[in-house]
Amino acid sequence: MAWWTTQFIFQGEILISEGLEPPALRNLEWIVADSEDSGGKLSNGGERYTQVIVSGYALYGRLRGYYALGVAHWHLAQEGGRAFWNEASHRHSEPVASLTPSQRAIIRECLIRFDAEAWETSNASFRRQLEG
């Protein structure tokens, strides 16, 4: 059995990347702050982003099912080049409930479109996390 992953990146409610991480994110200075406010640095505005990593499993080179979601939220500083996130986001362990209904629907539709059979064979608790 092999491990399979993909990711989704949202800017607000809009899906801006599916699959590979955009090169612009690799060039950011990532700062783990005690809170999302990061000492007032984000209160001036900063764009909020959400990253969702979906884990699945494959057998004999074919995706068989999805089993876990890792969620992170961060703010991109207005001056650019720096992203702020808290410890839970740094670990991609924010609650799935922190995703908006729209974000969950987009992820669900993409996973079904990518491999409907893998969606159907995923456990019910995984599928429930992405419902409504």
Going from N- to C-terminal start, the domains of the chain cover 2-126
Q: Which residues contact 60 (CB under 8 A, 6 or more apart)?
A: none
Confidence at residue 42, expressed as pLDDT on a 0 to 100 scale: 45
pTM (2 d.p.) = 0.87
Local mean pLDDT, 10-residue blocks, the chain (132 residues)? 92 91 80 61 66 95 95 86 90 95 97 96 95 76
The CA distance from 63 to 1, in Å, is: 10
Q: Pairing state of beta strands 62-77 and 82-85? A: antiparallel
